[in-house]
Amino acid sequence: MPFIDTPITGLYVFEPQVFADARGYFYESFNAQVFGAKGINTEFVQDNQSFSTKGVLRGLHYQLAPYAQAKLVRVITGEVLDVAVDIRKGSPTFGQHFSIVLSAENKKQLYIPRGFAHGFVVLSDTATFFYKCDNYYNKEHDAGIRFNDPTIGIDWQLDPSLIQVSEKDAALPFFADAKNNFQY
């Protein structure tokens, strides 16, 4: 199977089989049967794509139930540090995070189930980030956690002076004060 378990239950790294030759490469970035064999039977309904420059940090975002979203994330160009934080109350890894470098070169993807805050920072000069969601965006259920919350302690692998966040993300609450209706 092309899946690698992470230390956090339900969070998986997907490494597709890449077929390369002198012409370039081909790979399946998603196949419902392959994911289903791993027990991931997510029906994706929305695709999103963003382009960002070095140091841009987007996150940590999530949507509250009933508009929570599972995501399958990958990088089309460039390189990012991708982070998922377990916010499922009662989970043995509640408040812990997992980070991984995703890039156009390594073609790795991260499957993030519902109940996780998610964010990424661009490590390369530019990056195009792509993700599939299993639920539609709903502004009224939009929530998040401050990216630099000391209780989570994420090492974003960049000098803090290089990190650029939106006004909205800079004003997100810390973990202890964030809205959260997820259970393990």
Q: Is 137 a catalytic residue?
A: no
In DSSP terms, 43 is beta-bridged to none
Task: Please provide the DSSP assignment of 68-126 as one string.
Answer: ---EEEEEEESEEEEEEEE--BT-TTTT-EEEEEEETTT--EEEE-SSEEEEEEE-SSE
CA 12 to chain centroid:
11
Residue 115, C-beta contacts closer than 8 angstroms, at least 6 positions apart: 10, 68, 86, 87, 88, 91, 182, 183, 184
Query: Is the model's pLDDT at 184 over the cut of 80?
Result: yes
Any idea which residue has 């609450």 for tokens?
173
Query: Is the model's pLDDT at 58 over the cut of 90?
Result: yes
Question: Measuring CA to CA, which residue among 59, 142, 149 is closest to residue 95?
Answer: 149
Query: Is the model's pLDDT at 178 over the cut of 90?
Result: yes
Residue 67, C-beta contacts closer than 8 angstroms, at least 6 positions apart: 135, 136, 137, 138, 141
- d(CA 15, CA 17) in angstroms, rounded, equals 7
pTM of the model: 0.96
Query: Is the model's pLDDT at 2 over the cut of 80?
Result: yes
Query: Is the model's pLDDT at 108 over the cut of 90?
Result: yes
pLDDT in tens, 15-39: 999 999 999 999 999 999 999 999 9
pLDDT at 1: 62
Any idea which residue has 């949507």 for tokens?
63
Query: What structural domains and CATH numbers belong to the chain?
Result: 44-177 (2.60.120.10)
- Residue-averaged pLDDT of the chain: 97
pLDDT at 154: 98
Cα distances from 35 to residues 50, 68, 104, 114, in angstroms, run 24, 20, 21, 16
Instruction: Give the rounded percent of residues in the chain with a pLDDT score beyond 90.
Output: 99
Report angle CA 93, 79, 40 to the nearest 5 degrees: 45
Among residues 12, 61, 62, 118, the one annotated as catalytic is 61
Among residues 12, 62, 111, 131, the one annotated as catalytic is 131
Residue 138, C-beta contacts closer than 8 angstroms, at least 6 positions apart: 63, 67
